[in-house]
Chain A
Amino acid sequence: MLGNIIIFVVIATIIGGAVAKILKDKKNGSGCASCPYNSSCSTKPSGPTQSLKIVETEKEKGQ
């Protein structure tokens, strides 16, 4: 009986630790827990971008 309780506590601690880490990651970042890029992958850059204007070039004959 005591053996069962000890094993149960060990399993619960391991799972609890894993869940706590996932929740902590989720709180700190904003994406998927345990992913090393979770803090930045949901960050979409905002603001307008500007199309590059191609400056016309004069072509010499034969070029």
Chain B
Amino acid sequence: MKIALAGNPNSGKTTLFNAITGKVEHVGNWAGVTVDKKEGDVKKELNKFHKEIRVLDLPGAYSIAPYTSEESITSNFVINEHPDVIINIVDATSLNRSLLFTTQLLELGIPLVIALNKNDLLEKKGIRINTKELSNKLGCSVVDTASIDGKGLTDLITEAVNVAGKGQKAPYESPNGITELEPEGDRERFAFVDQVVNAVEERKVESYRVTKQDQIDRIVAHKYLGIPIFALIIYLVFSISQNYLGVFLADFLVGWIDRFYDFVEGLISTNVSPILSTLLLDGIIGGVGAVVGFLPLIMVLFFLLALLEDCGYMARVAVVMDRYLKKVGLSGKSIIPMVIGTGCAIPGIMATRTIKDERQRRTTAMLTPFMPCGAKLPVIALFAGVFFEDAGWVGASMYFTGIAIIIIGALVIKNITKEGSSRSYFIMELPEYRIPSIKRALVSMMSNAKAFIVKAATIILISNVIVQIMQTYTWRFNVVEEGMEGASILSDIASPIAILLVPLGFGAWQLAAAAITGFIAKENVVGTLAVVYGIRNFIDAEEFALVSGAESVASVMGMTSVAALAYLVFNLFTPPCFAAIGAMNSEMESKKWLWAGIGFQLGMGYTVAYLVYQIGTLITTGSFGDAVIPGFIAVGLFIGFIVYLMRKNKVAVSDRVKEAA
């Protein structure tokens, strides 16, 4: 038996889905979190019938006639796949808006049960709904639910099984059908919904009253105060995760990794081949351990971001950013993928499918990877800890540098491809502020931690083994002698690329090799640096410091603080990992846009790193850094090419206007 969960965005579908199936799909207190359908089986304790009941969580939709591509998933599924039952999740606090979609679903003839969700909020809002009357008016079962508390779930599943196969009559039938948007038909449908709502709902609270929520919004979503408040919150998030709680927890983990390393080292006898012991100790345990050591920092970051999302604040960030993004050819909707991209670029890029305008969608998919994702956090934490005393400002500044690059990038892309772009209006339903759920934040944190550990134990482990082997052998498979590391396979591959990086302040082949492996997964930058420099871990278990012997690590790498900042910028703002590039390819649906995007990310990362190094070196030493002229030529060519494309478009548009005249 197949049950589809359908309803408006942010009506609580995924929370209900998780409660029914026991799964831990990502939920958020704002619209547009689910952009793809998810499947799972009903939990045994909710299933009285002891038969297999498959549940499908569909993306939120306001109407059967799809407006955005994720809405088309819902529309296509309920129309073409014929589920046995539809559970329509209706936000009880916004009955009027929700029932438009309900009336369309009822016309499909598929048995429908309404889950009157967020029931727990009705009393607080002074709303009373006559459930029995609602059921009579619509001709379908209505079950009170509160998916957050798990209330009414058994009744909901029981009712869904009972109505399966019984057909469904529609109380309102549109003369034009349900898949066409006709203003006249919509007016009639709205009138019917109004009539139903008037008959079943009593509201004490008048909508024109200024609530506490409105008062908070006037401050946090304020035109001028919004950005500083956002900056302060992000600074606190990075400080807590990188300076305080994250490091405190990392301290224990690194201690265990250290003891495990010592234990394995003690087991290996002196007769064992040094190549094998180095591969196991430095390549596998050391390399993976160096990355895993940052796990607590990432967990704290994800936990705090989940709290921010759950309390409803991140939706306000979208509103705050809308006015700036609109000016550069994007919409406030573009900020949603970017905020999601802070966790991982892949779901962020996937979330661009909620953007209707093709150019805006592609531009957002191209620019979302500039947001520092969770995988980049170990790189930020490492360089902030080694080269800078207060790690918090480095993380927060990278976050805002990412936003600045996105705004500049959007402006450039707007000028290159302005033809065909449409003016967009950002309409977003602001979720209610609520006390964030610690449980949900923990679930989100553990889910991301699991993904991080799996990545460390697979992709990163294999990358480290390959790096270790490549730096151990020459092309003739002779072991590289001590002091002759420059003759290794790894050195030979990375050295030509390292030459290109000299103008950025980091021309060492080890740093180039780490940057290259970062394209497989960004955490690899840390793992590879640990392997190539023979650093066992970056977090001191005894001194409660982020990086063990920060000065010695810095001297091993042979970089100035300015060059280190440039290296960090380069790794953060050049193209993302291959998985994210795959997601870009999928969402952009254009090879031209994909390659242009990769080229733009590479050029932007190189340019920003060059400016950071050369200007920083000029300020700190009074003269420019290495290879300033070749770097200037490379950056000049990139900027010149961008300007050429912008002018070319301007001329083409101007010619077309003249022809039309």
Contacts and interface: CB of A to CB of B under 8 A. Distances in A.
Interface string B50-90: 00000000000000011111111101100000000000000
A8 B447 CA distance: 33
Given A32-B578, A50-B66, A7 B586 contact: no
B284 interface: yes
Given A3-B271, A41-B346, A50-B67, A34 B455 contact: yes
Interface string A24-63: 0100000111111110111111111111110100000000
Interface residues of B, number: 52
Contacts of B589: 44
Given A45-B70, A46-B72, A49-B68, A3 B268 contact: yes
Contacts of A14: 284, 461
Contacts of A38: 579
Contacts of A49: 66-69, 71-72, 356
A16 B459 CA distance: 12
A7 B72 contact: no
A55 B586 CA distance: 33
B586 A44 contact: yes
B404 interface: no
Given A18-B461, A44-B589, A50-B67, A55 B579 contact: no
B590 to A, nearest CB: 12
Contacts of B349: 41
Nearest to A22: B458
Interface stretch (B147-155, B275-283, B330-338, B496-504): B275-283
B353 A45 contact: yes
Contacts of B353: 44-45
Contacts of B451: 34-36
A15 B579 contact: no
Nearest to A49: B66
B72 A11 contact: no
The residue in B76, B346, B455, B587 that gathers the most chain A C-beta atoms within 10 A of its C-beta is B346
B583 interface: yes
Contact of A10 (B71, B280, B450, B462): B280
B72 A48 contact: yes
Contacts of A11: 276, 279-280, 284, 465
B319 interface: no
Interface string B561-586: 00000000000000000110011001
B90 to A, nearest CB: 22
A34 B586 contact: no
A45 B269 CA distance: 57
Nearest to B347: A37
A47 B76 contact: yes
A41 B67 contact: no
B609 interface: no
Contacts of B587: 44
B183 interface: yes
A60 to B, nearest CB: 20
A40 B578 CA distance: 16
A52 B67 contact: yes
Nearest to B450: A36
B181 A34 contact: no
A39 B447 CA distance: 15
B297 interface: no
Contact of B66 (A3, A18, A35, A48): A48
Given A11-B284, A18-B462, A41-B582, A34 B454 contact: yes
Contacts of B280: 7, 10-11
A14 B264 CA distance: 14
A22 B583 CA distance: 18
Interface in B174-224: 179-181, 183
Contacts of A45: 36, 69-70, 72-73, 76, 353
B98 to A, nearest CB: 19
A35 B76 contact: no
B619 interface: no
B458 A18 contact: yes
Interface string B3-14: 000000000000
Interface in B343-389: 344, 346-347, 349-350, 353, 356
B350 A40 contact: yes
A8 B586 contact: no
Contacts of A40: 36, 350
A49 B353 CA distance: 12
Given A11-B280, A55-B183, A22 B586 contact: no
A8 B72 contact: no
A45 B271 CA distance: 59
A49 B64 CA distance: 10
Nearest to B422: A51
B555 to A, nearest CB: 32
A1 B578 CA distance: 40
A10 B280 CA distance: 8
A44 B588 CA distance: 10
A8 to B, nearest CB: 6
Given A7-B276, A43-B36, A51-B67, 6 more contacts: A4-B273, A11-B276, A32-B578, A34-B459, A35-B451, A50-B65
28 contacts: A3-B268, A3-B272, A7-B268, A11-B276, A14-B284, A18-B458, A21-B454, A21-B458, A32-B578, A32-B582, A33-B458, A34-B455, A36-B450, A36-B454, A37-B346, A40-B36, A40-B350, A41-B349, A41-B582, A42-B582, A44-B69, A45-B76, A47-B76, A48-B72, A49-B66, A49-B71, A50-B180, A53-B183
The 5 closest A-B pairs by CB, nearest first: A36-B451, A32-B579, A47-B72, A3-B272, A47-B76
Interface of A: 1, 3-4, 7-8, 10-11, 14-15, 17-19, 21-22, 25, 31-38, 40-53, 55
